[in-house]
Chain A
Amino acid sequence: MITPDDNPPSIDWLPWARFNLHRNPFGELTQDERAELAVVEIGYLTEMLGDSRQAVQFIGQCGRGKTTRMLKLRSNLPTSSYTYIPEKPPCPAIASGNPILIDEAQRLSRSALESVLRSRCPLVFATHKDLSRSLRKHGYRVHTEHIGKGNSPKLICELLNRRIEASRLHSGDIPVLSREDAESLVAEFGSDIRGIENSLYLRFQKSLEGGGDGEM
């Protein structure tokens, strides 16, 4: 699946250099990198969110891409505010924004949810629970997207190759994940992108330690 570059770069001490990479491409990324590398179409969402009574909710299981969509929206909408609600209380401060992005919105305390719903700002929720009833009650039009269903082999292939490209060391060849590879990963992990990345991280490290030709 992954083969090293035929012309090794001049940085000999870097373990990933023989793949023409400067790191394992499937490790954790910063929030800015996640937004930059996201393969999501948000044009229609930003248009929709121009209306102050519009709410969007992303519903899906962990690791399917809810937070990535939120981060992409945040990076494209400079007036937005993003708040992650932790599992355990207390509920953190929530800044006003246009729109207001709330990650793990199902964890909002009643008073915090009330404050958000009364804000008269467009809202984007990433949630495990359908909150459309509360939103409609406060006069919002609700657009719901179920995240994970669209994680096709084509999309998986594109986003994983973007991650590899973002880890490029020099110009020249870098490993490429084929459509067949993506299909077999989807067959194994379904729509769980995080599961796929974790598995590839380990396989990539293993191929480095094996010292072989990099075939995983």
Chain B
Amino acid sequence: MAKCDLSIKLDEPNRVYLGGEKVEGTVHVKVDSAVKCSGLVLSTGWKTHGRGNVTTGDSHDATVFSGQWNEGAKYEYRFSVPAGDWPSTYHGRFLSIDHYVEARAKIPWAFDPKTATPFMLQATQLPSGHEAEVRQREKKSLFPAVIGLGVFAFFLGPLVLRADWFDIAVFGSLIAVPVFGYWLIRKFLPRFLLGKPDAYLQENTLTPGQEVTGEFVTTTRKTVKVNAINVVLRATEVCVSGSGSNQRTHRKVVFENSQTLQSQITLQAGNESRCSFAFCLPEDAAYSVSLHQNSLIWTVDVEVDIPRWPDWSKNLPIYVVPAASQGSKTGNDPMRSDLVSSERQNERDSRATADSMGERVSANAAGELTFAETVAQLWSVREDREKVEMVVEAVTGISFKIEATVERRLLYAGDEDPHVFKDGYAVWARYPEPRLPMVLYVPHSLGDEFEQLGAEIWKGNGAIVGWDSLHGRLQIRLEAVS
């Protein structure tokens, strides 16, 4: 087999590229025997590495050559590819993010040789999905509770239905006592003493070097002695590795700055006590990121240390974002306006997607919306789960003329899948182009047809019934031939 060595030489390997700039360089190719290359592709992208499961993102690619390489020859090709715009290069303890230029030579009937070299990227503005990302992180805080309720319903629900009152009381107390204890110690007792303690930030979206300002405020019911009121600004890397029972969450505090606002003070009964605080974010503070199972989270933690009593604490998230370019800054708070405009843009995009599909769905009454258009729409938003679900919701229940190539049959369609026909089965399939993954629910009457299909494209009618978010597949229930 021909040996094909690739190497990349960047023009400026130590330069900090700004989001959207071009990375330029030369890719060198050395082959030991004649080989046909169907495409020498240069691409840029990013990848996390460290203790969390790897997350990747692609930016752009360009084909710089296709054709014949001769035996023993050396070739050089210039390239200029966009650097991408998010996230910034980051090197921490548990989490690192690097951008790469990758060269891949597509060789028919052989493994594609490839090579990559890192370059440093500095993001200059928020990506369009940043707000959605933040909202998703906030939503995740409810996830453990939902899982807990689900597990409770699944495992204990049937037991409770069969058990007598004594068993229910025992089960109930096993769950209620720890929950009550947690609420008593962490919530009720500190509040009982401190009255209505609260802490807030003036602004929670900041740029590196900006000041984080906030205040702790309370009005106690009776006079209370307090050891100290402490505030800590922290940056924490949170990485998740493995999955299922092997899943581990690794946390590492990479920046910490603490202040004691007051020590050995007495909060007088009925008087409102206010303690303000201010921190300066480091000039080189890393931006907040949430890249699937790899995050860098900035927080301000406020804690009231009460002698011989449970302490009160509150965690306030902050978002460190890139400073916007000078030209786009308007108003008194440029970052806020940036976030707002980013949010508005997202809303506009979402509305446009929904409106577009809504119009097309109405149009489908007249038979205008095709399956190809639906697939194209889903393909274009496939990285954005919210938009995918929005599109799928708009077309659920609609019957189309389907085209699909079957990948493989499912032995088992998953627990309680309501779409599987009685005596029918499910197959994984793809639309011919773009290759959108699908699950087809096949009725018994089409069984033989599917068995004999092989690699041919299947054509028939089916209705969209949902989206399989676990496998990223459009669910379609096929219509039986009458």
Contacts and interface: CB of A to CB of B under 8 A. Distances in A.
B241 interface: yes
A33 to B, nearest CB: 8
B96 interface: yes
Interface stretch (B242-250, B304-312, B313-321, B346-354): B242-250
Contacts of A116: 411-412
Given A14-B118, A23-B96, A28-B51, A111 B412 contact: yes
A22 B91 contact: no
A112 B13 contact: no
Contacts of B407: 95
B45 interface: no
A95 B440 CA distance: 13
Contacts of B439: 93
Given A93-B412, A109-B415, A112-B412, A104 B244 contact: yes
Interface stretch (A81-89, A135-143, A151-159, A177-185): A81-89
A159 to B, nearest CB: 18
B53 to A, nearest CB: 5
B263 to A, nearest CB: 33
B154 interface: yes
B284 to A, nearest CB: 13
Nearest to A109: B415
Contacts of A95: 407-411, 428
Interface stretch (A5-13, A42-50, A51-59): A5-13
Nearest to A198: B51
A61 to B, nearest CB: 11
A92 B415 CA distance: 7
Interface residues of B, number: 43
A119 interface: yes
Interface string B51-67: 11110100000000000
B412 A94 contact: yes
A158 B91 CA distance: 28
Contacts of A112: 412, 415
B13 A27 contact: no
Contacts of A11: 13-14, 117-118
Nearest to A171: B7
Given A11-B118, A89-B154, A28 B50 contact: yes
Interface residues of A, number: 42
B408 A92 contact: no
Contacts of B410: 93-96
B244 A22 contact: no
Given A12-B14, A116-B412, A62 B49 contact: no
B285 interface: no
Contacts of A97: 408
B411 A115 contact: yes
Nearest to A9: B13
A24 interface: yes
B426 A93 contact: yes
Contacts of A81: 408
Interface in A192-216: 201, 205, 209
Interface string A117-149: 001000000000000000000000000000000
B221 to A, nearest CB: 44
A201 B16 CA distance: 27
Given A14-B91, A95-B428, A116-B412, 5 more contacts: A11-B118, A87-B245, A93-B417, A96-B411, A100-B411
Interface of B: 13-14, 16, 49-54, 56, 89, 91, 93, 96, 98, 117-118, 120, 147, 151, 154, 241, 243-246, 407-417, 426, 428, 439, 468, 470-471
23 contacts: A11-B13, A13-B16, A14-B98, A14-B118, A22-B118, A62-B245, A85-B244, A90-B415, A91-B412, A91-B415, A92-B414, A93-B413, A93-B414, A93-B417, A93-B426, A95-B408, A95-B428, A96-B408, A100-B411, A104-B245, A112-B412, A119-B411, A205-B93
Q: Which 10 A-B pairs have the closest CB atoms?
A: A90-B415, A115-B412, A94-B412, A93-B414, A23-B49, A87-B244, A96-B409, A87-B245, A115-B411, A112-B412
